[in-house]
Amino acid sequence: MDPAEKRISLIIAELKKHYPKPKCQLHFENPFQLLVATILSAQCTDVRVNKVMGGLFKKYKTAADIASADQHVIEQEIRSTGFYRNKAKSIIGAARLIQQKHQGKVPNTMDALLELPGVARKTANVVLGSGFGIAAGIVVDTHVKRVAARLELSEHAEPEKIEQDLMGLVPKKDWIEFGEWIKLHGQNTCKAPTPKCGECKIATLCPSAFKIQ
């Protein structure tokens, strides 16, 4: 085992110990609800999205319901998540394509998901990993981007390149959980702008520990 492999295995072991049962923090009952929630989560907290989703899916039960909804009405119902016009357009567009091309069911391949409006690799990875249990990649959100940089797991700024770096380091069996471990670590300990290095379980494995003020 080379030094990089050894370090990532130690990081994974510590995170697994600290967050033994990580799971997606968005509330959902099926892959379509998860898809909508993930689109809404852009530049918005999971807590806020979960509040909005509760009301949204009492009214709209299926992709067909969203597909036939009035965009202006949806905009007002999701307004508090921010960027509500673009998000409403995306979720209605995605619902319509799911109806037209996938018989009302969310597709479970990366290529098909990426064809949906408002869906990039991060959203597709969330849906595949948490909705279907399929490890097609690693979710890279703002927390993962920040923590990966501080751990020097990637020197890139673009999410797609960070993901490729992480996929080259992390064993595939850990891909789904790794994104959740790092997200939780970023939310709870490796915060922006100032990390809590004194409380960090992986500080001894982090080149940036105690160097960020």
CATH number at residue 107: 1.10.340.30
Question: Which residues lie below 8 Å from residue 206, measured CB to CB, with a gap of 6+?
Answer: 150, 151, 197, 200
Q: Is 141 a catalytic residue?
A: yes
Structure token digits, residue 40: 């809404």
> Are residue 73 and residue 162 in the same domain, yes or no?
no
Structural domain harbouring 42: 31-132
Question: Do 191 and 167 share a domain, yes or no?
Answer: yes
Domain count, the chain: 2
Burial code of 57-93, b = ≥16 C-beta within 10 A, e = fewer? beebebbeebbebeeeebbebbeebeebeebbebbbb
106-126: b or e for each residue (b if 16 or more CB lie within 10 Å)?
A: bbbebebbeebebbebbbbbb
185's tokens: 């670590």
Annotated catalytic residue 17: no
195 cis-preceded (ω within 30 degrees of 0): no
How far is Cα of residue 70 from the mean position of the Cα atoms in its chain?
A: 27
The CATH number of residue 170's host domain is 1.10.1670.10
Distances (CA, A) of 96 to 20, 49, 89, 106: 38, 22, 11, 11
**Which residues have CB under 8 Å from 133's CB, separation 6+?**
176
Catalytic residue among 122, 173, 201, 211: 122
Q: Which position among 46, 141, 145, 183 bears the catalytic label?
A: 141
Residue-by-residue pLDDT tens, the chain, 213 positions: 788 899 999 999 999 999 998 989 999 999 999 999 999 999 999 999 999 999 999 999 999 999 999 999 999 999 999 999 999 999 999 999 999 999 999 999 999 999 999 999 999 999 999 999 999 999 999 999 999 999 999 999 999 999 999 999 999 999 999 999 999 999 999 999 999 999 999 999 999 999 987
| Separation of CA 169 from chain center | 19
- Single pTM value for the model: 0.95
Same domain, 54 and 13: no
* CA angle (186 as vertex; 181, 145 as ends), nearest 5: 90
Assess whether 84 and 119 both reside in one domain.
yes
The DSSP call for residue 154 is -
95 plus 185 within the same structural domain: no
